[in-house]
Structure 1
Amino acid sequence: MKRSATLFLMTILPLCAATFASAAEPVQRLQRATGLWKVTPATSPFSWEICVDQQYDRLIEDDLWTDFEQECQIASQNRQGDSYHFQSSCPGAMLAGSFKGDLAKGYTLIADTTMELNGKTEVQRTELTGVFLGACPAGLAPGAKKMRGGMVMKSLYIDRQQPR
């Protein structure tokens, strides 16, 4: 009996660990479908298009907080249907966000960044909507952003390692 209990635990524990890992992953690594996405901030006229390669995409890192995975620690997160909510601690700021939508069609991402500025607590709200446009056009590399005026920014994926 002792041996079968040990075998059972050896079988079930890795499955539990995988479940917890995948439960912790969605907010940090929201990954859009491969193709061309148009991202529009609610408070700015400067939208952009990004050619997404799903295996390298990091929506929060690519469109909200550069180096999010290296700099920020997720304090809490939860998923309900097509919505994710998270709170994280980043250098000099707290970042709380909510995502709603379909990573193959369209989404809305709202984030509040709370920081101390000149002795006062300031909150900066960012709201982005993303819409899937189809296949990436020829000449736009995966990870590259094409800004509204036509300027193309180099690929965000150059130094990104393949996901675990």
Structure 2
Amino acid sequence: MTRSAPLILMAILSLCAATAAIAASAAEPAQRLQRASGLWKVTPATSPFSWEICVDHERDRLIDDDLWSDFEQECTIESQHRDGDSYVFQSSCPGARLAGSFNGDLNKAYTLTADTTMELNGKSEVQRMALTGEFQGACPAGLAPGAKKMRSGMVMKSIYSKR
């Protein structure tokens, strides 16, 4: 009986570790909003400067790539809620609070809206960013995964180099 106790204990610990891993991955959907692989056209609502990005699903991080660079490393998600194709989150970032909402299908089209609140000269200021993404099909030859092609035709190198 004494030899089987450590085996049972190990099995219980393994089950707890697996449950914790599943819970941890479920607790990070904002960091893991990942679009389908292929070419996506991203258009900000308040700017004429749209871009196309060649997405690799495995390395894609929608919020990191198109909203807040280094979101995963710099920000902490304080609350989040998912309901079907909608997702809402609140996070704290260096010097700011970021509240975002996502609606859509990561295989076809989506809308991402975010309010960044920061203190400026003793007053709370809010900057709103809204953008849409539309799947365009396969990436064209010569556009590497993670590369962004700006509306002007300029190509920015892959943002996936750190992943």
TM-score (norm 2): 0.91
Query: Against the structure 1 CA distance between its residues 159 and 11, is the aligned structure 2 distance closer, same or farther, given a 3 Å change threshold?
Result: closer
Say if 2:111 is the partner of 1:108. Answer: yes
1:24 aligned residue (1, 12, 27) = 27
| CA-CA distance at 1:11 after TM superposition | 4.5
Offset at residue 119 of structure 1 (A): 1.3
> Which residue matches 2:93?
90
Q: Which runs of 4+ in 1 moved over 2 A?
A: 1-12
Q: 1:150 aligns with which of 149, 153, 157?
A: 153
Q: Please identify the structure whose Cα radius of gyration is greater.
A: 2
Counterpart of 1:133 in structure 2 is: 136
Mapping of residues 24-103 of structure 1, within 5 Å: 24-103=27-106
After TM superposition, the structure 1 stretch with the greater mean CA deviation from structure 2, 9-18 or 108-117, is: 9-18
Secondary structure at the counterpart of residue 48 of structure 2: coil
In 2, the alpha carbon distance for the partners of 1:52 and 1:144 equals: 8
Q: Tell me, which stretches of 5 or more residues in structure 2 are unaligned?
A: none
Superposition RMSD on alpha carbons, in Å? 1.6
Distance 1:31 1:12 in 2: 28
CA distance in structure 2 between the aligned counterparts of 1:11 and 1:72, rounded to whole angstroms? 30
Q: TM-score, normalised by structure 1?
A: 0.91
Equivalent of residue 12 in structure 2, options 9, 13, 17: 9
Q: Deviations over 1:42-96 (max 9, x none)?
A: 1111110000011111100100001111111111112111111111110100001
Same amino acid, percent of matched pairs: 73
